[in-house]
């Protein structure tokens, strides 16, 4: 990346402060990643190899992000601590974090999209949605496959806009105007596509759990097999909803900060942007680790243990 020949007024303190805060949050969340990884490999030794590889990939990516974050701090604190004009330049570690962050978000969203696709493929259900057009009513058969394909394309679009964002980041001179332009253009588009995908994942998972709970009550399984199954489904529903709400709030905050940074020439985006993808990483690890807790919460685990074993290859 190019280095600015002059430092904009107020750039140094404002940019460095937000960078340090974002890096601190990144390191703190990395501790959660390590803890969840150790817990996973110690409790789920019988999981499929593909899930173990997935966890290993997430750990490697998160470790690389932390190394890049440390390199950023080293660049500002050690290498250029006596060269204030170099503060206006961004080290290559920013590009590395951006690329690894996009990969993490892509893996996380694909993980949940695959889960949704696997569950609904087994259930083989379609739903009729009424579409209102002035003067007419149309019945539209909306299969989950169409929605799944649509949001898979949106996920790929998010990756594409992220690549454009990185390209733009490297082509511009790193000064106030360049950072403003980056925040106001493809960065906002990428966040918007992430919001759309996360919203779909949250709604789809919530609908699946609600539909399953209704089917269980209708067939009387709660009474004849497992009196705690309803509570178990409620816990899964609460986790899915809270996971989606957390990521959606995080994305909305970042897109709002992006727009505020563009208007007021601030650099608050670093606080959210640096640790953001690590939150996605931990959401996947939490989804894998919560299975044992949910299984143990049942007083009559026979029915749920069977369904959990079936789902371990898809969740």
Task: Give per-residue pLDDT as tens, 80-103.
Answer: 766 666 666 678 888 899 889 989
Domains defined for the chain, CATH in brackets: 11-311 (1.20.1070)
Provide the pairing of β-strand 136-143 with 126-133. antiparallel
| Rama region for 124: left / alpha / beta (φ>0; ψ in -120 to 50; rest) | left
Question: What is the average per-residue pLDDT within 262-276?
Answer: 82
Residue 197: closest CA among 143, 233, 166, 161? 161
Question: What is d(CA 148, CA 61) in angstroms, rounded to the nearest whole number?
Answer: 26
- Which of 2-6, 65-69, 199-203, 250-254 has the least mean pLDDT? 2-6
Alpha carbon distance 28, 277 (integer Å):
13
To the nearest 10°, report the CA torsion of 273, 277, 278, 281: 170
Global confidence as pTM: 0.76
pLDDT in tens, 185-229: 566 777 888 888 888 888 877 777 777 666 655 555 554 445 555
């Amino acid at each position: 990346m190019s280095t600015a020949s002059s430092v904009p007024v107020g750039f140094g303190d404002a940019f460095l402060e937000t960078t340090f805060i974002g890096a601190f949050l990144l390191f703190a969340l990395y501790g959660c990643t390590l803890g969840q990884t150790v817990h996973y490999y110690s409790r789920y030794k019988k999981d499929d190899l593909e899930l173990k590889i997935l966890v290993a990939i997430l750990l490697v990516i998160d470790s690389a992000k932390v190394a890049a974050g440390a390199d950023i701090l080293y660049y500002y604190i050690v290498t250029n601590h006596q060269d204030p004009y170099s503060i206006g330049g961004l080290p290559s570690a920013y590009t590395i974090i951006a690329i690894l962050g996009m990969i993490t978000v892509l893996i996380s969203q694909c993980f949940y999209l695959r889960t949704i696709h696997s569950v609904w493929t087994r259930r083989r259900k379609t739903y009729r949605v009424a579409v209102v057009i002035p003067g007419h009513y149309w019945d539209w058969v909306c299969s989950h496959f169409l929605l799944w394909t649509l949001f898979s394309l949106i996920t790929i679009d998010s990756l594409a806009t992220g690549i454009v964002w990185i390209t733009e980041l490297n082509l511009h001179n790193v000064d106030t105007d360049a950072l403003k332009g980056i925040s106001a253009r493809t960065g906002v588009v990428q966040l918007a596509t992430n919001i759309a995908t996360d919203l779909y994942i949250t709604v789809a998972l919530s609908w699946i759990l609600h539909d399953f709970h209704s089917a269980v009550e209708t067939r009387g399984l709660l009474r004849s097999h497992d009196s705690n199954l309803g509570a178990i489904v409620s816990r899964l529903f609460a986790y899915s909803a809270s996971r989606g709400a957390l990521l959606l709030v995080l994305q909305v905050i970042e897109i709002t900060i992006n727009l505020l940074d563009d208007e007021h020439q601030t650099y608050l985006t670093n606080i959210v942007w640096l640790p953001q993808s690590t939150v996605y990483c931990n959401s996947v690890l939490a989804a894998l680790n919560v299975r044992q807790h949910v299984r143990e919460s049942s007083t009559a685990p026979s029915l749920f243990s069977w369904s959990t074993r079936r789902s371990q290859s898809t969740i």
